Each structure stands twice: as structure tokens, then as C-alpha cells.
Amino acid sequence: MELTGSEILVQCLREQGVDTVFGYPGGCILNVYDALYKHSDEITHILTSHEQGASHAADGYARATGKVGVCMATSGPGATNLVTGIATAYMDSIPIIAITCNVAVSLLGRDSFQEIDIAGVTMPITKHNFIVKDVNKLADTVRRAFKIAKEGRPGPVLIDITKDVTANKAEYERKEPEQVKRITDSIKAEDIEAAVKMIEASKKPYVFVGGGAIASGADTQLNEFVHKIDSPVADTLMGKGAFNGTDPLYTGMLGMHGTKASNYGVSQCDLLVVVGARFSDRVYGNAKKFAANAKIMQFDVDPAEINKNIKTDASIIGDVKVILEKLNEKLSQMNHKEWITEVKSYEESHPMTYHKGVLTGPYIIEKIYEATHGDAIISTEVGQHQMWAAQYYKYKAPRQLLTSGGLGTMGYGLGAAIGAKMACKDKLVFNIAGDGCFRMNMNEIATATRYNIPVIEVVVNNHVLGMVRQWQDLFYGQRYSQTVLNDRVDFAKVAEGLGAKGYTVSTCEEFDNAVKEAIKLNIPVVIDAQIDKDDKVFPMVAPGAPISECFGEEDVAEKFGR
């Protein structure tokens, strides 16, 4: 049947199973929004307060479900406002489709009103992008974009469509989505055999898990693998929940703000098995001294990640779920009781602690964990609160923590929370924010109230840019340049002005009550939780130092002379 480009686009979204789109209209994309209006009973559109909020919401939707998230915006500034969200998804390998519309073909390259080469702008931060100038190519382009976003290492894809293409007509025939196959051809039998021999020869193995294990849906296989080789487990920020955070073999996050148990354990192990992690600089600290006693074996779907930052002794390229399945078939049950006891001694002698009796970031996270029984979806902004959320909430399953790991995007979390709640309506969704981050995206509270999306925003408010101040305090001679936010903004009143319920709390008891009430209300809520400006995230590794030199609050006086 013959349809306009806009109708073809909507039908292709329906083909792909898209039920929710986040976006903001404008002149060049009007035809698409007109088509969406006619299909509002099939595809829900969420009008965000800012296009960046739409891209983060699509990202949150994708992280919470494993499906492809979709956002859209008009040409020019609408399209460029998506860029930070696209880059956030790119750095963390999140599958989203960003749909923009540009000026008509006849107006391209003429500095037309709201014209921008968004394909050129986003080329370095997308897995692939397209500009569609022929309506006859639109359907196949959309289908190809979804496949690219999902296959192999996932990532964002941008489709820019000229306005005349959205109005022109072409024949459309529905097609079932092409099945995305797992990458297995690169998994060599000899590599599997070599890995088995290295694992069996190890006396002190350690498993290090990243976001690739979540992307491949490998949590069941990972659990079997870990218990079969009887190894302690550390994870990255992106890998939270791939291995159950309540399992006795779990030792916490690795790296700059990882636990001392994980940092010491990895520094002492003789084999580090890396599952779907890319070795961020925040993980390895000093590359020359990272896991210096260990052979390193890396499993990853992306060959570009092998030997990029850390030299490996062995590797297997391919889908990590399939790799683990093949290894589990060949491995026999192992026992490393003495090694596990050694690592556990690090936990016992260096426990995660914080000051009791006053409202602090760790207390806030632990109370949210208790109130939600560890079953909530937690999104975060970026900074101290993000690290506390990683350290003190025990993620029992994949896709519970939504956070900007690679790009470190302040302003990410609230949009992501809205996307996650739209996808997982039966789940409690909390966004953990700092006061600096909340200023960047507080307008999305209006989105939550417009549609009554009951997200709970907890602002860990220390009236400073906490993580930057922590660095200034420790490494910059306590010169607090432009990091003090001690002004007269009342976040609870801002929330109420945007239609949400607002609380201001400064004690443990007040916070406990506010969280309980927020859960019962089932409406958008903002809790402004006031903590001390000098609370810090510990443990910590100084930039460029080996992770074995992580230090806690108890070490600050000796290390820094105060």
C-alpha cells in the first residue's frame, strides 16, 4: 500500500515492537508528529521538557529492558540537544534510535532556517547514522538501523530524515524484524581449550564483570561459571547486577572508588578473568601496576577492546553468554577455599563504613535499599551520590542500576528514571541526584507530573559540587573554585511548583519517613536530603596510582598530613 514517509516511519516502529517514544516536536518533524497523533493508541509519546531529557529517557528505557529506546527531535537545535544523550549511550553501549528531521533536500547546504548537519555532528558518537533523502529507502533504513543498534556490541544509531521525505509517498509492505544473531563465529575451540587450561591451573582466580555481561543476558551463565571455578567477583559500575550483589563471593566494585577487598584481591590474584569489561582508566588506575601478579584473560564481543588499555595473556572474542556456556560445559567443579578466605579477610579488616547517627549519602542509599527490599530500579546522576549508590545498594539482578558510566553525564538520571518507569510500571524507580545535577535536569519533574509518572527523586544535597570539591580538598590545596552552591534555591518548593510532592529533610528520622510516604503516595516526589558539605566517598585511589594503594578516611591524615 502507498503511504507517506511519516506513516512508513510509524509503521516501521510498530514492526520493531516500539511502544513508547520520547521527544519534542518542531517545524521539520511536524509530519511525523501528525502521523504519531493518528497512532497514539499504539505508540505512546512522552513529551519531555527538553530534548536532552528525551534522549536520556530513551536510554533509561533501553537499559531497564534490553530493548531499543527511541527518541526524536526536530532539526537544528532540537537535533543538537540530543547529542549529549546520544554520546552517553555510545560510551555505555546502549541501543537507542535517535530520529531527527531536517530541512527539505532542496534546502540542504544553504544555511536554511534550523538546518544542521546532524549526521556529521554525531558521526563520532554513533554506531552508525543515516540521512534519508529518498522516501523509497526509508523503510529499509529504519529496519537496518534497529538491527545495527542491537547486534554485536549495542549502541546508538541516528536517522535524519528530510522533511520532504516525510511528506512524499512510497509503497510500504510490512516485514517481520530480522533476527539479530549472537556473534559466535569468532569463538574458537582452541581459545576455549586454552582458557580452560589457564583456569584449571589457577590457584587464585578473580572474576571481573562489566556491562557486556548484562548486554548479552549472561547473568545465569556467569553465576554458574563463578561458582564452578569458586572465585571471588568484582564488577564495574556498568556491570552492577550481572552477578548477584548479595552472593558471598561478591566483593564489590573495582577501581577508583572500589572496595579495598576488590582492589587488594585483584592485586594479589594469579588469574583475572574479565567478562564484558573494557578496562576504563577509573578501573585500572596505573596500567603498568594493574593486577601485576596475574595473567589476564578477557572475554568481549568487540575485538577492539582486547589489548587496548591493558595487555592480556589470552582472550576470546564473541558473545560472552555463549563463551560462558562453552566454558561451563568443559570446566569441572573447583575449590579455592584458602583463596576465598584470604579475600574475605580483606573484607573483614577493611569493611565499608560511614558515620552513624547523622544523615549521610551512604545512610540514604542503605535506607532506600531497605525500603525497596533491594528490588527497585535505581538511576543516578554523576558524582559522589553515584558512587554511594554503587557502593551501598546491593544489586541482585541485571538492569537495576541505570547510570552514565563512560561519559559521566550530569543531568542524565531523571530522564533515565522516567524512561525506566514507562518501561517497568510495576517497579519502584528512584533517581539519586546531587544538588548540582538536579539543577541541570529539574525541568523533567514537569514531564513526570504531566503524565503522573511516579518516580522518586532523592537529592543528596550538600550545597556543593561534591566530587569536584573532594578532589579540590585532597589534591588542590582546598581551593574550592566555583564548587560552592550555597544559595537560596528551595528544591522542595521547586518540586511543588512543577506539580510534584516535595520534602526537605535533614535527619535520619525525617528521611526515613519521607521515603516511606513517597512509596505510598505513588506520585512524582522530590526529597531534598541535606547532608554535610565535606562528606567524602571512600575508599579512593588517587589518579594515576595503582589500585592497591586505595585509601579510606582513616588514611587521610597520614597520606595528606591532615
What positions carry a catalytic annotation?
A: 51, 113-114, 163, 467
- Gap between the Cα atoms of 524 and 514, Å rounded: 13
246, three cell numbers: 548479595
295, three cell numbers: 595473567
Dump the DSSP string for 470-536: HHHHHHSTT--TT-B--S---HHHHHHHTTSEEEEE-SHHHHHHHHHHHHHH-S-EEEEEE--TT--
Q: 10 Å Cβ neighbour count for 60? A: 34
403: phi then psi, degrees, rounded to nearest 5: -155, 150
Nearest to 471 by CA among 560, 354, 348, 546: 560
Positive or negative CA dihedral for 22, 27, 32, 33?
positive
Nearest to 537 by CA among 548, 558, 557, 551: 551
503: phi then psi, degrees, rounded to nearest 5: -130, 145
Nearest to 259 by CA among 279, 294, 232: 232
- First vs last C-alpha separation in the chain: 76
Across 258-276, b (16+ Cβ under 10 Å) vs e yields: bbbbbbbbbbbbbbbbbbb
- Gap between the Cα atoms of 49 and 394, Å rounded: 32
- Gap between the Cα atoms of 40 and 20, Å rounded: 10
Residue whose cell numbers read 554513533: 126
- CB distance 441 to 448 below 8 Å: no
Neighbour order of strands in the sheet with 20-24: 44-47, 20-24, 69-73, 96-102, 157-162, 128-132
Peptide bond into 351 cis (omega under 30): no
